[in-house]
Amino acid sequence: MSEPEAPRPRHARAGLARRIGWYALLAASALLGYVLVYGGTVVDQLDSTLAANAEDVDTLVGDRPERPTDQEAGEALNILVMGSDTREGDNQAVGGGAVSGMRNDTTMIVHVAADRSRVEAVSIPRDLQVEIPECTYKDGSTIAATSGDFNIAFSNGGLRGDAAEAAACTIRTVEQLTGIYIDHYAVVDFDGFISMVDALGGVPMCIAEPIVSEKAHLELEAGPQVFDGETALAYARLRTAEEGDVSGSDLQRITRQQQLLEQIAATVFSKNLLTQTDEVTQFLRAVAESLTMDEQMASTTYLVGLLYSLRGLGLDDIVFHTPPWQYTADSLNVELLPEAEEMWDDIRNDRPISVTAEGDASSAWDDGKKDDEESTSEPSSSAKSSGSPSASTTADLLDECR
């Protein structure tokens, strides 16, 4: 039977933090070298931990787009990475109290090229207006199709607090929107993000100007600094600020997110697996404990094979994008421009993404519009694309920032 249509999820202050989940895949690049060098007991423990949260969702997703290639080694892969703001367990304290259900303000399509020459990550704005298909739960019941903000899909699927059901509804929505076959998925939560950043020993960031946000519990001085897990989470959830250039735009938060992801990836790639084994072990365990994913991804054997195929990848080969968009007529949400189809077609056919940026996709949108306060906005028609930084060390980045 069908259940009543779920309410639209409120715009949680914890928005951007849930976006950080996808970097766990990049971060797991450490897994290859570690397994080759140390192997054994740690790998067995990681397999057990990953398997505990692994679940395939093909039967819940239902009809799928045509898969363009065989899924043998070396073929292109599309991985959907989602962030969850579930308030179960330790996440309640981090997220700010008990809230039922699950929400996500973060979804990224991570495309791994067949020749392993590049990884391209496309952020889907949470306020993007889309058609959301009927979603199915594990007991066979369904929730009606609807339309509205993209992140309703995860909320609909997550009404019962099950990350796999939430992922299935989001996958179905993404595949319907883009025609891109999703090979794998991963979901990460608040507490897991903090643990992963702390396990890395922090993430270096260059802050252009002071930022003070009471809502995000964040107070940053301008200049070089290293974020611990809680500070990185606060920066990631940042939506409004009493001081600093923070517009409230979800697109601006995507821009900040991508900058943070670049530095997380750079930090991971800078690790020396032969001399920092305790730190790497701690990080890999944090990754394993924090992710819900499909069963194939939740295998060190599979991950080692995938990551070995990416051994020649550099940070400059990891690129972030936002699909071409514009504001809706009421300036409250966003919609895709026709050029977005070019991006989806590039991914479907494993071509480098051809849509280029024409400025900062964050624009001048002001959160006050949702509170009926006067503000201005200008449409943005371009994708946000930022090349990853070179593989500099933490000290290099902080020196450059001074």
Q: pLDDT tens, 231-244?
A: 988 888 788 889 98
Q: Which domain holds residue 351?
A: 2-190+276-387
Quick one: pLDDT band at residue 76, thresholds 50, 70, 90? Answer: very high
What whole-number distance in Å separates Cα of residue 110 and Cα of residue 124? 11
Query: What pLDDT, on the 0 to 100 scale, is given for residue 336?
Result: 93
Domain count for the chain: 1
Q: What is the mean pLDDT of residues 81-85?
A: 84
CA torsion angle 187 192 198 203 (round to 10): 30
Mean pLDDT, to the nearest integer, of 144-162? Answer: 95
Residue 198 lies in a domain: no
- Is 259 among the domain residues? no
User: Of the candidates 140, 123, 142, which has an alpha carbon nearest to the alpha carbon of residue 132?
Assistant: 142
In a domain, 357, yes or no: yes
Residue 392 included in any domain: no
With respect to residue 399, please indicate whether it lies within any of the assigned structural domains.
Answer: no
In a domain, 393, yes or no: no
Question: What integer is the mean pLDDT of 195-208?
Answer: 90
Q: What CATH number is associated with residue 123? A: 3.30.420.590
Does residue 354 belong to any structural domain of this protein? yes
Q: Does this model's pTM top 0.75?
A: yes
Question: Is the separation of the CB atoms in 208 and 221 below 8 Å?
Answer: no
**Does residue 89 carry a pLDDT above 60?**
no
Cβ distance 289 to 353 under 8 Å? Answer: no
For residue 270, is it within any domain? no
In the prediction, which pLDDT does 383 show? Answer: 31
In this predicted structure, the answer to whether residue 93 has a pLDDT above a threshold of 70 is no
How far apart, in whole angstroms, are the C-alpha atoms of residue 385 and residue 388? 10
